[in-house]
């Protein structure tokens, strides 16, 4: 039985998941005959046998669930047992450290032995054996799925050969051991230099992406909603920021107080449904009240007074991206009403401006939204949100009777929509704070 053993130490994924990841060793099993015998997102762990080939892949990884952990440990134990009993030959690549294993006293200690063994396999002499195994497998029709490291090295060797040829260095017929030795040294040196360069480039790229993510995180904190529990996706953060800037500039240019509903609609332009829900939650709004197709359910007096300063401004100056233009035909596919008309200049111009450069969104309108998440603006308390939401429903049914508009910014809308003014005050206070900061 021949078992391929390959080990790499990777970095734990960053991002929200890294908040509580710990170092664990993850083992994955691969079957060369069928390629990677694994489904997406789920490793297939032995029955160690099907075709006799396994590729065990320990990764420094984020915490995995206990059953999975046990699963991997079982697989590791089985592989180690076979290694120790000499049941197979193999080779290892890119062995860096097994410190992660040592942190877990329950993991098989024999992997330390594996480490030494595989490092030994990486000598030039042993690599020939390894390659021999590969050739044998290829003859047998097996899918020899080498890891990227080996592929890289082989490719690099080819490049080196090419470079030598291209440099005008004549191929000598003199195959003296001295010359061969020099060549091997040169190849090894070049290979090492390439590896170092690649690793440095990877590290730089990682840092660059981390910087980008940090900037994105900063942006998340200044756009209208920020939730500790539901993180805005990258793309929606950018969309929301763009919408927010546009909406604010429209507000500044207008002498009239903006209409809240249209303001929120502008904010949610092109956002995904979860993000739209999040924005609604942050503003303590019922999303159904500002989704145009739902607005028609609001009493008629609401429609009649929902003129918007946004509608006075003819253009949405930025080209709509391919991810979704809020085409009025999609938004208002049922029947027109005054709100449609108010929005029309806003989106109409968008299409006029962008149809030549940007594809229009042809998809169906998102289904009605619902506030069912655990979010609110800077919220900590779900109960508080539930209470407010219940109140908002009450206000909505009562036509907001008796609710005082405390701030002129929302004067035109607070009378008509289920919004809690104290929450809106907190919303604006937040942004004043952000702007003043």
Comparison of 28 and 293: residue with beta carbon closer to DNA? 28
Q: Count the Cβ atoms, other than its own, within 10 Å of residue 202.
A: 11
Residue 19 found at the interface with DNA (CB under 7 A): no
Binder to DNA among 81, 135, 179, 200 (CB under 7 A)? 200
Residue 255 CA to residue 234 CA, distance in Å, equals 33
> Which is closer to DNA, CB of 132 or CB of 359?
359
Binding to DNA by residue 202, rule CB under 7 A?
Answer: yes
Quickly tell me which residue has 């690549």 as its tokens.
93
Per-residue mark of binding to DNA, 61-90 (x: CB under 7 A): xx-x---x----------------------
Buried b / exposed e over 73-82, threshold 16 CB at 10 Å, is bebbbbbbeb
The residue (of 135 and 206) whose beta carbon lies closer to DNA is 206
The reply on whether position 215 binds DNA by CB under 7 A is no
Candidates 264, 250, 307, 256; CA nearest to 409 is 256
For 285, the token pair is 């709004």
Name the 3-class secondary structure at 161.
Answer: helix
Asked if 238 touches DNA (CB under 7 A), the answer is no
Q: Is 186 in the site for DNA (CB under 7 A)?
A: no
Query: Could you tell me which stretch among 12-20, 170-178, 295-303, 419-427 binds DNA (CB under 7 A)?
Result: 12-20
**Interface pattern 267-286 for DNA (x via CB under 7 A):** -----x--------------
**28: contact with DNA by CB under 7 A:** yes
CB 325 within 8 A of CB 351: yes
Q: With CA atoms as reference, report the closest residue to 345 among 334, 335, 353.
A: 353
Which helix (DSSP H) or strand (DSSP E) does residue 343 occupy? helix 338-354
> 306 near 416, Cβ under 8 Å?
yes
Q: Where are the beta strands (DSSP E) in 104-230?
A: none
Q: How far apart are CA 315 and CA 349, in angstroms?
A: 5
Tell the smallest beta-carbon distance from residue 11 to DNA (Å): 5
Residue 39 found at the interface with DNA (CB under 7 A): yes
Contact segment (CB under 7 A) with DNA among 112-120, 200-208, 286-294, 324-332 equals: 200-208
End-to-end CA distance of the chain: 67
| Sole binder of DNA in the list 87, 133, 235, 312 (CB under 7 A) | 235
Q: Which residues, 6+ apart, have CB-to-CB distance to 259 below 8 Å?
A: 306, 307, 308, 309, 310, 342, 412, 413
Does 380 interact with DNA (rule: CB under 7 A)?
no
**Smallest distance, DNA to C-beta of residue 335, A:** 28
**Segment near DNA (CB under 7 A), from 145-153, 245-253, 330-338, 347-355?**
145-153
The answer to whether 53 and 32 are in contact (CB under 8 A) is yes
CA 112 and chain centroid, separation: 35
Residue from 209, 215, 245, 406 binding DNA (CB under 7 A): 209
Tell me if 234 contacts DNA by CB under 7 A. yes
Is residue 163 involved in binding DNA (CB under 7 A)?
no
The stretch near DNA (CB under 7 A) out of 46-54, 197-205, 256-264, 411-419 is 197-205
In angstroms, what is the minimal distance from the CB of 132 to DNA?
Answer: 24
Q: Is 387 in the site for DNA (CB under 7 A)?
A: no
Q: Where are the alpha helices (DSSP H) in 305-337?
A: 309-312, 328-331
CB of 155 to DNA, least distance (A): 6
Neighbours of 425 (CB within 10 A): 14
Q: How many whole angstroms separate alpha carbon 58 and alpha carbon 99?
A: 11
Residue selected from 40, 139, 335, 433 as contacting DNA according to rule CB under 7 A: 40
Judge whether 25 and 76 are in contact, CB under 8 Å.
Answer: yes
- Residue 322, interface with DNA (CB under 7 A)? no
Q: How many residues does the chain have?
A: 437
CB of residue 372 vs DNA: minimum separation in angstroms? Answer: 9
Q: Is 36 in the site for DNA (CB under 7 A)?
A: yes
* 308 vs 247: CA distance, rounded Å: 12
Rounded to whole angstroms, how far apart are CA atoms 304 and 271? 27
10 touches DNA by CB under 7 A: yes
Q: CB nearer to DNA: give 207 or 429.
A: 207
Nearer to DNA, 206 or 378 (CB): 206
- Give least dist CB 329 to DNA, A: 22
Positions in the binding site for DNA (CB under 7 A): 10-15, 17, 26, 28, 36, 38-43, 57, 59, 61-62, 64, 68, 148-149, 152, 155, 197-198, 200-206, 208-210, 213, 231, 233-236, 272
């Amino acid at each position: 039985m021949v078992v391929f053993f390959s080990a790499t130490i990777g970095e734990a994924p960053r991002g929200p998941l890294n908040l509580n990841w710990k170092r664990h060793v993850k083992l994955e099993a691969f079957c060369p005959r069928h390629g990677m015998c694994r489904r997406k997102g789920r490793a297939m762990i032995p029955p160690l046998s099907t075709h006799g080939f396994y590729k065990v892949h320990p990764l420094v990884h984020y915490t995995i669930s206990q059953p999975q952990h046990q699963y991997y440990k079982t697989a590791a134990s089985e592989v180690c047992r076979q290694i120790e009993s000499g049941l197979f030959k193999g080779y290892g690549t890119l062995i860096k450290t097994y410190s992660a294993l040592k942190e877990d006293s329950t993991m098989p200690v024999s992997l330390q032995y594996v480490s030494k063994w595989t490092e030994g396999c990486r000598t030039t002499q042993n690599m020939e054996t390894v390659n021999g195994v590969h050739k044998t497998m290829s003859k047998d029709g097996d899918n020899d799925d080498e890891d990227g490291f080996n592929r890289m090295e082989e490719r690099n060797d080819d490049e080196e050969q090419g470079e030598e040829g291209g440099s005008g260095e004549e191929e000598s017929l003199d195959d003296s051991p001295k010359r061969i030795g020099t060549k091997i040294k040169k190849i090894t040196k070049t290979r090492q230099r390439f590896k170092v360069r690649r690793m440095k480039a990877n590290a730089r790229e990682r840092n660059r992406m981390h910087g980008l993510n940090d900037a994105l995180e900063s942006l998340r904190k200044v756009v209208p909603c920020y939730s500790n529990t539901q993180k805005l996706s990258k793309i929606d953060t950018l969309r929301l920021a763009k919408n927010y800037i546009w909406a604010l500039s429209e507000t500044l240019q207008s002498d009239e107080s903006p209409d809240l509903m249209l303001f929120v609609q502008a904010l949610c332009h092109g956002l995904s449904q979860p993000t739209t829900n999040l924005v609604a939650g942050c503003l303590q709004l019922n999303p159904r009240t500002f989704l145009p197709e739902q607005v028609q359910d609001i009493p008629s007096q609401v429609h009649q007074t929902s003129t918007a300063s946004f509608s006075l401004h003819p253009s949405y100056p930025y080209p709509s991206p391919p991810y979704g233009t809020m085409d009025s035909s999609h938004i208002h596919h049922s029947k027109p009403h005054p709100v449609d008309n108010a929005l029309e200049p806003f989106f109409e111009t968008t299409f006029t401006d962008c149809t030549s450069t940007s594809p229009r969104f042809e998809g169906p309108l998102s289904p009605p939204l619902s506030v069912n998440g655990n979010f609110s603006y800077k919220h900590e308390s779900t109960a508080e949100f539930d209470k407010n939401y219940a109140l908002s429903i009450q206000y909505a049914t009562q036509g907001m009777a008796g609710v005082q508009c405390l701030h002129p910014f929302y004067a035109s809308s607070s009378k008509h929509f289920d919004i809690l003014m104290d929450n809106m005050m907190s919303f604006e206070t937040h942004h004043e704070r952000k702007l003043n900061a």
